[in-house]
């Protein structure tokens, strides 16, 4: 999987996680191997750890309590030097931003999260609209407001919020929240918790055109990967990037049930060796999941900023897989995803 032409969720996760400094101009990162098939597999597999990996704990049913999300947004608006507004209301009729904004449920569906919210607030004679989505404590949100900050924002990062690109400033050291003012005078405050700021900034429009999908799957590896991911309960399964000319390797993106954005490289057995790290060069071990060896390679000391969880490699039926979550989530979450994949009928 490359940092160039990738699907909407992954491209945005990569960019704001450090693959580039601007949402619409991703820089080159790790490159996909050339289209020709690699030489015979010779790399020895690392020693397996003792004992099987326990099955993932089923996620509890979503409660969709918005208390934490609203508190997080209010703190961000204060950090953005915006005046406190009235209480948020689900009555959004007549709000100046509502016609161009998707519903809360639509935002959640696009992001692969459980809960959605669309609420409005007044700030004296100005108006605000918040769209948010979350699963448990993982969240993404975007505020549009007609008022301005008490002091202008610095020019630290350019974000395209689809109705205009503007320079704005980060509101925290972790760069999870950004604010900027468009030439029109509208202010945007965008943020996330454990997800992707880029996705939060790009998935809010009511009419954004192509919503992704799997109709363009041409390779056997793509069709296999899509079927397995959907059977495993993954969400927003899509082609992450087109296959290279002559290649049999597919690249897919998806969101796990707990909201982790991941990329899967899938190819026929022999096309690449899943026991050999592709993106990471840190410590490697092998986990046994229901009798299948899964290589786990952590990011090394020189890993790019978006490499915060391990890369996994394993075989599934007649295909080999690499899994990696760009800039979000944990290795344990990715292992739970691998467990769900390996328990599908296609991997038995």
**In this predicted structure, what is the pLDDT of residue 5?**
38
**In this predicted structure, what is the pLDDT of residue 327?**
84
**In this predicted structure, what is the pLDDT of residue 14?**
46
**In this predicted structure, what is the pLDDT of residue 7?**
55
| More confident position, 335 or 11 | 335
**In this predicted structure, what is the pLDDT of residue 61?**
57
**In this predicted structure, what is the pLDDT of residue 174?**
87
DSSP assignments along 169-238, one per residue: EESSTT--EEEEE-TTS-EEEEEEESS-HHHHHHS-BS--S----STT--SHHHHHHHHHHHHTT-EEEE
Residue 113, pLDDT > 60, answer yes
| CA distances for 343 relative to 81, 229, 231, 250, 297, angstroms | 49, 11, 9, 21, 21
Angle at 4 between CA 241 and CA 216, to 5 degrees: 15
**In this predicted structure, what is the pLDDT of residue 50?**
43
Q: Which of 264, 262, 256, 257 is nearest to 219 (CA)?
A: 264
**Cα 157 to Cα 165: distance, rounded to the nearest angstrom:** 10
C-beta atoms surrounding 321 within 10 Å = 26
**Cα 1 to Cα 243: distance, rounded to the nearest angstrom:** 10
Question: Could you tell me how far CA 173 lies from the centroid of its own chain?
Answer: 20
**Cα 1 to Cα 252: distance, rounded to the nearest angstrom:** 9
Residues above pLDDT 70, as percent of the chain: 79
**Cα 158 to Cα 169: distance, rounded to the nearest angstrom:** 8
Region 222-239: mean pLDDT is 95
Residue 210, pLDDT > 80, answer no
Least confident range from 8-17, 280-289, 338-347: namely 8-17
Q: Note the pLDDT tens digit of each residue in 146-156.
A: 999 999 999 99
| More confident position, 48 or 341 | 341
Q: Note the pLDDT tens digit of each residue in 295-338.
A: 999 998 877 766 789 999 999 999 999 999 988 999 999 999 99
Q: Which residues is 132 bridged to in the sheet? A: 117, 141
**In this predicted structure, what is the pLDDT of residue 38?**
37
**Cα 324 to Cα 197: distance, rounded to the nearest angstrom:** 18
Least confident range from 143-152, 186-195, 252-261, 295-304: namely 295-304
Mean pLDDT computed over every residue of the chain: 84
**Residue 108: which pLDDT band, with cuts at 50, 70 and 90?**
very high
**In this predicted structure, what is the pLDDT of residue 15?**
43
Largest CA distance in the chain: 69
Region 227-250: mean pLDDT is 94
**Residue 292: which pLDDT band, with cuts at 50, 70 and 90?**
very high
Q: 3-state DSSP call for residue 299?
A: coil
Q: 3-state DSSP call for residue 37?
A: coil
By the 8 A CB rule, do 26 and 15 touch?
yes
Element (H, E) at 168: strand 165-170
Q: Which of 221, 265, 249, 270 is nearest to 42 (CA)?
A: 270
Q: Which of 291, 341, 333 is nearest to 316 (CA)?
A: 341
| 177 backbone dihedrals φ, ψ, rounded to 5° | -135, 135
Task: Give the CA count within 13 Å in the CB-facing half-sphere of 137.
Answer: 2
Residue 211, pLDDT > 90, answer no
Dihedral sign, Cα of residue 223, residue 257, residue 324, residue 326: positive
């Amino acid at each position: 999987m490359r940092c160039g032409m990738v699907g909407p969720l992954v491209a945005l996760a990569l960019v704001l996680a450090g693959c580039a400094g601007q949402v619409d101009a991703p820089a080159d990162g790790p490159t996909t191997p050339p289209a020709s098939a690699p030489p015979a597999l010779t790399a020895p597999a690392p020693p397996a750890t003792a004992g099987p990996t326990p099955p993932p704990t089923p996620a509890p049913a979503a409660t969709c309590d918005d208390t934490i999300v609203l508190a997080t947004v209010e703190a961000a608006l204060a950090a953005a030097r915006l005046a406190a507004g009235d209480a948020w209301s689900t009555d959004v009729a007549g709000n100046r931003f509502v016609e161009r904004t998707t519903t809360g449920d639509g935002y959640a569906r696009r992001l692969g999260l459980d809960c959605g919210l669309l609420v409005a607030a007044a700030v004296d004679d100005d108006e605000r609209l918040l769209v948010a989505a979350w699963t448990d404590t993982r969240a993404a949100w975007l505020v549009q407001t007609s008022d301005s900050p008490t002091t202008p924002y610095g020019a630290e990062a350019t974000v395209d919020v689809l109705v205009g690109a503007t320079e704005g400033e980060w509101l925290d050291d972790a760069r999870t929240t950004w604010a900027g003012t468009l030439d029109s005078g509208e202010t945007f405050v965008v943020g996330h918790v454990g997800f992707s700021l880029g996705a939060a900034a790009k998935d809010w429009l009511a009419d954004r055109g192509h919503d992704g999908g799997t109709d363009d799957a041409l390779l056997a590896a793509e069709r296999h990967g899509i079927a397995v991911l959907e059977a495993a309960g993954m969400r927003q399964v899509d082609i992450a990037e087109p296959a290279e000319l002559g290649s049999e390797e597919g690249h897919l993106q998806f969101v796990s049930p707990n909201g982790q954005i991941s990329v899967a490289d899938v190819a026929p057995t022999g096309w690449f060796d899943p026991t050999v790290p592709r993106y990471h060069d840190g410590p490697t071990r092998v986990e046994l999941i229901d009798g299948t060896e899964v290589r786990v390679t952590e990011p090394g000391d020189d890993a790019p900023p978006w490499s915060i969880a391990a890369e996994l490699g394993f075989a599934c039926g007649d295909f080999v897989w690499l899994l990696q979550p760009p800039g979000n989530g944990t290795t344990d979450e990715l292992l739970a995803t691998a467990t769900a994949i390996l328990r599908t009928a296609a991997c038995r």
